[in-house]
A = this chain, B = another copy of it.
Amino acid sequence: MEQWSNERLSRQIAFITEIDKLKTVLRHSYLMDGSRRENTAEHSWHVSVIAMALLEHAGDPAPDLNRVIKLLLLHDLVEIDAGDTFAYDDKGYADKEERENAAARRLFGILPDDQRDEWLALWREFEDGVTIESRYAAALDRLHPVIHNYYTGGVSWKKNGIVRAQVIRRLDPLRTVSEPLWHFALDMLERAVALGLLLDDEAAE
């Protein structure tokens, strides 16, 4: 670790440079112009802005948007070590928690101790999904790739043979978070099936 004027700043700069790697972690979603796969850093930006844009649909009491954004900016940093686990990869999910816990300890451990504790707590809050902020954040994190898939002609759904019931299961956190957004998502999936972007459930039987 390169030393700067003091130990705290040296750790903060080391953390800032380390997390640059999130820009090289590729997700299964494509950019909406279909040109390439999305990376996790730009996803984190996008879903944070989405949280700002859709807050009014988040129910009553409204989540604290500022906290939501912090959760979303940090929630995927662990993918630097643990990689992106595809939403429909049951095998990948088996040891996801363990891999991501180790990643969180290493990455946030670069920061000064008080920041490490604070940021680890934010990351755990997102993972635990108990607070209304983490539930709204996680629901949007699930909705985001659905919008991408819809507007890229279902490229990732088709490639992986995904059927509507799988997407609906995956979206379940949205159901209790926001009635309007849940209905919007079901409507989008209905249109996706009608347009041939997503397999209907019967196709899988």
Measured CB to CB, the residues of A under 8 A from B are 4-5, 8-9, 12-13, 15-17, 19-24, 31-33, 35, 38-39, 41-42, 44-46, 48-50, 52-54, 56-57, 65-66, 69-70, 73-74, 111, 115, 147-148, 151, 180, 183-184, 187-188
Contacts and interface: CB of A to CB of B under 8 A. Distances in A.
What is the total number of copies of this protein in its complex?
Answer: 2
A107 to B, nearest CB: 11
Nearest to A11: B53
Most buried by B among A16, A69, A187: A16
Given A4-B187, A5-B184, A69-B69, 15 more contacts: A8-B56, A15-B53, A16-B53, A19-B49, A20-B31, A20-B148, A39-B42, A41-B42, A41-B45, A41-B46, A42-B45, A45-B45, A49-B73, A66-B66, A69-B70
